[in-house]
Amino acid sequence: MYKDLLGSATNEVFALFFIRIFREFGGSVLAAFSTLKMLQAPNFAKFREIFAAELKSLFIVPAKTFDNVNGAFPIGFSIYDTDGNMRFSKIDADVYDEQGRFVGKKCISVPPQGGLLMDWIKTMHDKQGGSDRSSEDYML
């Protein structure tokens, strides 16, 4: 039902759940523990255009805080108000360590269009295995 609207974000069940709640059951408050991909990943750009629920609060903890989770990435606890009509652009999130001690604040924001490292790499490399640029282009 939402595949054409969301693109590759439809591969994530929670994204489908969030979009359905937002579009069909306005006035709800949603909360989630998840990685920050919904807020920052390029695959979720279309999702962020449609899911205009207001992000009220976010705190971040290391993934290793949870049992049976490996990896060094953040897990966020977010609260959204679906009555709000505000596309996410940035928020100052509280950050906590493994013992639950407050570490500080971190600004989480949507990366600029074309501002990711992989976008830059694509400009430097062609699909035939060569480089689009000469070695002089890499000099500072």
70's tokens: 């490996």
CA Rg, the chain, in Å? 18
> Across residues 106-118, what is the average pLDDT?
75
Q: What is the pLDDT of residues 28-58, one digit of tens each?
A: 999 999 999 999 888 888 889 889 999 999 9
Please tell me what DSSP assigns to residue 113. T
39's tokens: 């807020």
> Across residues 88-92, what is the average pLDDT?
92
* C-beta neighbour count of 108 within 10 angstroms: 20
Smallest CA-to-CA distance from 54 within 72, 28, 25 is with 28
> Across residues 79-96, what is the average pLDDT?
91
Of the listed ranges 78-87, 102-111, 130-139, the one predicted with least confidence:
130-139
What pTM was computed for the model?
0.74
